[in-house]
Structure 1
């Protein structure tokens, strides 16, 4: 066996014969002489040291090794074709990868919609996505780990980043229906609010480490995962601010209730969302698509086919 001498052409001929059902049909598909197709397969069999086709019948039939190696041949050709597409795209100035850092408060439905539309526009470009909170999003853009960031929980934009203003997210303060704060009628006093445990997202970045945003209680439980915070709120472990799109079903079904304070109106407050990127980062076609698509958003919800 001398696998180093295998050629991609031999593999393509092998696959075509298997798909066409005969050497003659494969020769027609490939616009070659039947003898050339037969020779390519015979040479491949000799180099692999196995018989790929049983030629004893009217039509060639794949042998057991042939069936197994056909799957491998397809996989090799798929990888080569993908390499060619990506190389051609890169030669035209298109990025091979887009790296994004997205705030946990950004609506998942909107993000999924954007990713689906991006894949349709740039099928050869891979995506590296990180979901973070507070300063961790901006930090990843500043240090170059992410080309683009979507900020939500960080109230200020670092001065060394360019920004695009996006539609806002509605933020509401919520508790479980059996929580002591849920029993208070009207606005909750600052003193009473400070006596109850507040569930707060923690910051995993050095950019805003040890800084508190919208923290009003002396007793806090901190976590880095929005899903965990959501579960603890529903379990009555404290009160906290949540994006309305995340807790809307809980509010509709009574699993959570909104509270009103001097800081939190009952209908919620608008949380600004921004797209940020470094001014010196070259924007190829793929990154430009993200900047244009985000700037075109009029609401943080999936885009209808007519809008896309």
Structure 2
């Protein structure tokens, strides 16, 4: 068998073959999916193994299982494929001025209706850029930007400061402590202390960060916690009386006005957060036209206010 150079072995095509075998569990199944003769696929896999001088699959089991070396190759290979896609996008942006894709990470406190209104306005321009929206929470919003998974982040801390990332203020967001009318804390008339809150379950939104344990706020030591994936889940859990906690006032206000939530005074500092948006500075030249369009819209106070406040019921 002719030897293949390691760099040649790590082609996107070969990485795709290896991913299919790992996902489907057999060479034969992968060959069917890829429209190949099984012997040809097996030959290609062995070429990669010979080039790297490692065994990528444990063939002693009934299923083709990745060895630790094979698993690492697929993890690193995905990074290589993402980098190739990024290079292609950068080249196209240089040629046309428009990014092939713009990824926007949006924190759970952003108003979805306003976000989609902005998407409608962007598409109405006829721009060739594809939009991708990532739902993030807490530190995961900024991490998506920092890690290259997003180009623009809405709802980050206005105090964030990182190299190669530009931030701008969006506004202030007030949080209120709210419970359902049938929750045990609803009938308390005085300002509620931590010792009174602790016996009752808190509802917390999970931080979407992939690094460490992420952030959590207003959880007392020893307090039971129901962790949910989004702010909308948190709202519904508290409407059902499954727990208590702080909610963004613009999101909670329609339910407060309708009597479905009760705001309680608590012996805590005023919960007002400075919210901002952030984007990655281009390493060379100007930002692409799609990014410039979004940044121009975000310069309008009405747009920033709507992203924080226009939470509609239903």
TM bucket (normalised to shorter chain) is 0.5 to 0.7
Shift of 1:159: 2.5
> How far apart, in 2, do the equivalents of 1:162 and 1:195 lie?
42
Number of the residue aligned with 2:21: none
Shift of 1:264: 6.2
- Structure 1 stretches of 4+ moved >4 Å: 87-90
Residues 270/210 of structure 1: CA separation in 2 closer, same or farther (3 Å cut): closer
Contact 1:135 1:207 in 2 (8 A): no
Shift of 1:127: 0.3
Number of the residue aligned with 1:245: 250
Number of the residue aligned with 2:115: 111
> How far apart, in 2, do the equivalents of 1:210 and 1:144 lie?
18
Residues 192/165 of structure 1: CA separation in 2 closer, same or farther (3 Å cut): same
Shift of 1:225: 2.1
TM-score, structure 1 length as denominator? 0.62
* 1:223 equivalent in alignment to 2:225: no
Write out per-residue CA displacement over residues 248-293 of structure 1, whole angstroms, 9 at most, x where no aligned residue.
221111111111112266xxx4332211122345511110111121
Residues 297/207 of structure 1: CA separation in 2 closer, same or farther (3 Å cut): farther
Write out per-residue CA displacement over residues 10-60 of structure 1, whole angstroms, 9 at most, x where no aligned residue.
xxxxxxxxxxxxxxxxxxxxxxxxxxxxxxxxxxxxxxxxxxxxxxxxxxx
Work out which of the residue numbers 180, 187, 192 in structure 2 matches 1:183.
187
Number of the residue aligned with 2:266: 261
- Of 135-144 and 214-223, deviating more is 214-223
Contact 1:173 1:264 in 2 (8 A): no
Work out which of the residue numbers 198, 203, 209 in structure 1 matches 2:207.
203
Contact 1:99 1:129 in 2 (8 A): yes
Contact 1:174 1:256 in 2 (8 A): yes
> How far apart, in 2, do the equivalents of 1:156 and 1:215 lie?
22
Residues 88/206 of structure 1: CA separation in 2 closer, same or farther (3 Å cut): closer
Work out which of the residue numbers 219, 222, 240 in structure 2 matches 1:235.
240
Contact 1:163 1:277 in 2 (8 A): yes
Shift of 1:187: 0.7
Number of the residue aligned with 1:276: 278
Which runs of 5 or more residues in structure 2 are unaligned? 1-90, 308-314
Write out per-residue CA displacement over residues 140-194 of structure 1, whole angstroms, 9 at most, x where no aligned residue.
1111111010125x58525333201012233222100011111110210121112
> How far apart, in 2, do the equivalents of 1:216 and 1:155 lie?
25
Contact 2:207 2:216 in 1 (8 A): no
* 1:300 equivalent in alignment to 2:305: yes
Contact 1:176 1:236 in 2 (8 A): yes
Number of the residue aligned with 1:146: 150
**Greater C-alpha radius of gyration:** 1
Contact 1:170 1:270 in 2 (8 A): yes
Contact 2:106 2:134 in 1 (8 A): yes
